[in-house]
Amino acid sequence: MNDYALEVEAVSKRFNRGERNTSLRDSVPALARRLLGRAPVEAARQKAFWALDDVSFQVKRGEAFGIIGGNGAGKSTILKLLTGIMQPTKGRIRTRGRVSALIEVGAGFHRDLTGRENVFMNGAILGLTRQEIQKRFDAIVAFSGLEDFIDTPVKRYSSGMFARLGFSVAAHVDPDVLLVDEVLSVGDYVFQRKCIERMGAVIASGVTIVFVSHNLRELANLCPRSLLLEKGKVQVIGDTEDVIRTYFGRGQQPRVPDSSSGVLITKVTVEDEHGPAVEFASGDKLRVTVEAAGITRHDDMSVVIQIVDDHQYPVFDTCTQRLGAGELTLDQDQTLRCTFEMDCSLAQGTFHVSAFLHRYLTNHPYDRWIAAATFFVSGAPEARGVVTLHPKLTQCEIGPSEGALVEGRRAAHE
């Protein structure tokens, strides 16, 4: 007997892109056409697309496993197949034990029912018996922090309260396998920390977890092993740090430019001293090069670059204007190329570079490219946070007692 909680074997899932016939008015002519022969079947096949294509992976019991991928990569489809909401078109999925999903928190809440009633309702939906809910009820309410509102109909809740209660119920189901999809961004910062701590506790208690998130830092913290999914295909499975590196290291995605702008950012590259790079050590030189092409004449431009961290928090920005270059003029059919050189005083993490062409002295953008490039910083083990201030320990010694103050404290202690 093997020790896998989840086994996904060569699973493919096909969806129909077109609209299905959901009313008689549409389906009667469609049926007639089918009876008369040909076309529709062929058309349907053409409209079909594969959301998942030959995906295989295994998750060991007690493992925390991450799934990474851009929008439309098929992450949510995998989770839906794992929960049994949908069936795979091809391939096989085996699960062991109770599978529960933290996917849509608060799904099934009824607006007219009170918080208490909804906890019982939602618990039943998630597969708990009445006794099990009763046993967990206090913990659920305490976790949500909604003790004072538990007998209020949830229609009077704020959206944050709603989501908090939903998460609290879902987080107390105690399944054998827990599927988590982007739900840790619920509530305020304090509640989010609580959710992530809860996840950590759940993992520690030996529950198998499959985690889908765009918050790659949290994902890397929780899951040692991950899978990178792209257009329904498995790109790589392995150590999460490596997978994230592969995810961002694939180079720039082609961009669909805004046709109305008269200038266009054509390329944004991140380099170290030796050339294009995605990995930096804290303290390295970091060069960002922005290339642009003129379509119509602009004589009042500045180039802005911005670095944001994984939470989209702006860490740093600079521009040609502040660095002493005057108004840049770009005529049609001319190209612009400017390189910013910086000291990479960032702490460990993932960072994204955005580039903007602004009208000089204003923030009116002619063109912009959000998250045009991504890079990683490693090293700086002494620092936590976004930047490193290059700390040095200049004093750390133990001396004699400070006298009166300490004496008083000690008395209080005893």
Partner 1 sequence: MIISALREIIERRNLLYMLTWRDIRVKYKESVMGILWAVMMPIVIVCAGMIVKFAFALMSGRPLQLLDVTSVAVKASPYAFIVAAIRFGTSSLITNTDLVTKIYMPRLSFPLAAVGSQLFDFTIAAVVVGIFLAFAHVGVSVHLLWLPLLIVTLVLLGAGLAILLSAATLFLRDVRFVVEALLTVAIFFTPVFYEPSLFGRWAPVLWANPLSPILEGFSSVVIHHQAPSLPWLAYSVVFSLGLFLLSIMRFKQIEPLFAESI
Q: Does 127 bind partner 1 (CB under 8 A)?
A: yes
Instruction: Please identify which residue in 22, 158, 259, 363 interacts with partner 1, judged by CB under 8 A.
Output: 22
User: Could you give the CA distance from residue 409 to residue 393 in angstroms, rounded to a whole number?
Assistant: 28
Nearest CB to partner 1, comparing residues 77 and 374: 77
Q: Least distance (Å) from partner 1 to the CB of residue 141?
A: 18
| Segment 343 to 402, residues that bind partner 1, using CB under 8 A | none
Burial letters 105-125, b for 16+ CB under 10 A, else e: bbeebeeebbbbbbbbbbbee
> Which range binds partner 1 by CB under 8 A, 96-104, 289-297, 326-334, 350-358?
96-104
User: Could you give the CA distance from residue 11 to residue 90 in angstroms, rounded to a whole number?
Assistant: 5
Nearest CB to partner 1, comparing residues 77 and 350: 77
Q: Least distance (Å) from partner 1 to the CB of residue 198?
A: 19
Q: Does 120 bind partner 1 (CB under 8 A)?
A: yes
User: Could you give the CA distance from residue 32 to residue 42 in angstroms, rounded to a whole number?
Assistant: 15
Stated as kind and residue range, the H or E segment containing 195 is helix 189-204
Nearest CB to partner 1, comparing residues 50 and 120: 120
Tokens standing for residue 194: 């609580």
Instruction: Please identify which residue in 17, 45, 94, 110 interacts with partner 1, judged by CB under 8 A.
Output: 110
Stated as kind and residue range, the H or E segment containing 122 is helix 115-125
Q: Does 130 bind partner 1 (CB under 8 A)?
A: yes
> Which range binds partner 1 by CB under 8 A, 31-39, 81-89, 231-239, 334-342?
81-89
Q: Does 113 bind partner 1 (CB under 8 A)?
A: yes
Q: Does 23 bind partner 1 (CB under 8 A)?
A: yes
| Residue 26 zone, left/alpha/beta (φ > 0; ψ -120 to 50; rest) | alpha
> Which range binds partner 1 by CB under 8 A, 29-37, 101-109, 206-214, 330-338?
101-109
Please work out the total of residues on this chain that contact partner 1, with binding judged by CB under 8 A: 33
The DSSP output letter for 25 is H
Q: What single string gives the DSSP state of each residue in 139-180?
A: HHHHHHT-GGGTTSBGGGS-HHHHHHHHHHHHHTS--SEEEE
Instruction: Please identify which residue in 71, 87, 158, 395 interacts with partner 1, judged by CB under 8 A.
Output: 87
Q: Does 190 bind partner 1 (CB under 8 A)?
A: no
Tokens standing for residue 289: 């090069």
Instruction: Please identify which residue in 29, 30, 129, 407 interacts with partner 1, judged by CB under 8 A.
Output: 129
Q: Does 48 bind partner 1 (CB under 8 A)?
A: no
> What separation in angstroms does the CA of 33 have from each of 27, 43, 44?
10, 12, 13
Output the CA torsion sign for 129, 131, 134, 139. Answer: negative
Site for partner 1, rule CB under 8 A: 15, 20-25, 27, 80, 83-87, 99, 101, 103-104, 107-108, 110, 112-113, 117, 120-121, 124-130
